[in-house]
Chain A
Amino acid sequence: MQTINPDSQRPTLRVENLTHRVSLETDTLTILKGVSLEINRGESVAIVGRSGSGKTTLLGLLAGLDTPTEGTVELDGSVISGLSEDERARLRAHRVGFVFQSFQLLPALTALENVMLPLELASMDAPEMRARELLERVGLGERLAHTPRQLSGGEQQRVAIARAFASNPAILFADEPTGNLDNRTGQDISDLLMALNQEQGTTLVMVTHDEQLAARCARQFHIEAGELTEPVTRRELTD
């Protein structure tokens, strides 16, 4: 299903002058101020910053879960800030995967069904086979019929990762994927995430305040009080 963009020079995600404000009861709060960035196909990028600096808000805008007050977000060539909510949903179904801090599995469904769900929503073929394959891959081949409540936090996040990669997304967004896990488990999860990302050639945009995890990404954006400071790449650092 994945369509390869012939023009590899063109960035997968381009953000221009993104500003986001929310109106509170008395005044308006500016959460993001003039954020511009470009992320290329297959790249892995970390967004780091202190709690409350606006990371989650930015991620939500990049993924088209919300629309910015000003500025544009261009994902795979379409300006998602100009799309209707349903058009954005359709785009997400086929192109975008998510991993969340709080896992967000549906408690009523088994591990297998949780992974099948996005495949079905995107009307893909043989959802069950693909879901089994992925759960095997994340090491939960024995736990297919278990519901989230019967799984530990780390196991739940594995299911979530399997779900995120299920529909073969072009781009994967992760919000503090290890935030709710202990160090060891967090380490395992980030290994898995990076490995799968490598295998599938997915573009990865990850929000984290875990410096170690951020360091494993090709590039890092620092955000402070809603403003982007200069992006630094690992390559630049090592060179």
Chain B
Amino acid sequence: MGSAAAGRIWKGTQKASEHPLLDTPVAICSYISENTAPRLPALAVAAGSHVYIYRNLRPYYKFVLPAENVNTEEQEIWQKVMEGEMVMGDAVAQLTRLQDAGVVLQTRSLQLMNIGDPEAKMAFVEHWQGQPLVATTVITCMDTIKQAIDEPDAVSCLVIGTESGRVLILNPAGTAPVKNIWVGITPAMIAIQGELDVGYRITVAGRDGKLYHIRNGELQQTIIQLEAQPVGLVRLVKHVAVGCMNDVIHAYQPNGTKSWSIYLPCHILAMQRMEVTGQRMTKALLVALSNGEVRVYNEKLLVSVHTVNFPVTALWFGRYGREDNTLLTITKTGMLDIKMLPRTANLEIGALGGGPPPEQEIPLAVPKKTRLYVEQTQREREQAADMHRTFQRDLAKLRLTTARAFVKVLTDGQGAAAFTTSTNLSLSLSVAGLGPRFRLTLLLRNEGARPLLDVPVALRADPSLYALAKAQFTIPLLVPGLQYTYEVAVTAVSPEAGSDAVTVLLLAPAGSHSSAPLLQATLKMPISEPEDL
């Protein structure tokens, strides 16, 4: 389908014909619609609220979705407004009341309610004057169902899901619905099993992330709640496989019990049924993944993997030309890839083998215990008491050393980061630049529970070496838990004279009874580049 809403037919690599469409297509199906020979397939293209049916490359019939029921009260309101029996304000109020009561209003009513200007409201009503309020809906998905017998060239019917939450089954000619099933939620994908006259099941993946089942025209009570939004729905022989956004494919039996799950390494891009005809009649599952892999699963057994270089957007498996089993792959780049299944292909045995992963066979590289280790253990066993005593003595000494160093950190502020215990402040300094102009960055954090107000900051450096842009400033507020960044420009006055340290002092706020600084940190400045270099 082209982006300019046109259907293009290709024969080989040549474009055979092009059919302009009125609307962006949402689904396309080919099916046999007549029982007369030769059985030429018809092409159904769903766009907007119509299904266009083509035969022999010519438009043949247009099916229009039947209008939905409109709430009678809403219809009356519109009638009255158009005939001038009701003032605009009342009409809007009535519509609002209806909406509050839970009635799903039509687009026209919602548009009217959204218009603010009274004149524009009148003009809007005038625009629709004389046209009755109808509920239109659009098609969201489409598939086919065989009518009586399950054969490749048997007559089938179209099955359509609509935005209004219905599933319609049309007659083979596509002129009128033969079944109209109310699901209640917009179907996003449908999967069909069985024949219309014999017995069938339709599985509907709704927009709400649930699976609904329709059996012979009746909506079943079993509703399957998925753990993530579905991205693909495929009917298999006994199961319905649903791929979800959390990279899992679940397979459900018709009665709603889950049979198996496949956990995939990355996102699912597309899923499709693979119905192999020929000697082996296999129904397998095709999955395109975001890492470029296209996998084939027979039940839950992975039977084949191949890689496509670009993300796959769509897959189709079926008859192409004279070849029965062909896989068409469309990538996001617009590439169409055609692969044919070899007649000797075996889809019964796993490609990547089941069973334990190969890593299980490789022993872990555990280094051997050396003789040295044994000797040392021996020594440990013999002199355990001595070793313990020495260790405890050393530990006590180390604790003392550490505690001293820690106290020094708390009191002296010799390093570029400092903390206090009393006010729970932390300050860390860093310097950027090559010189002679540096930027000193102060990172301040109040880790206490109470905010601090008006904290004076003083910077100290050798004036013969460094010129500070500001030697002191006041921080108005330090809220707990936030990181504050302050920058001070520092200029090296004479780069040749060497480097020194800059000390930053956080003083106690005014009014406190102590004059000792809260915090002090020192940063050793790097050697400055000369000015003229």
Chain A complexes with chain B: no
State the A residues within 8 Å of B (CB): none
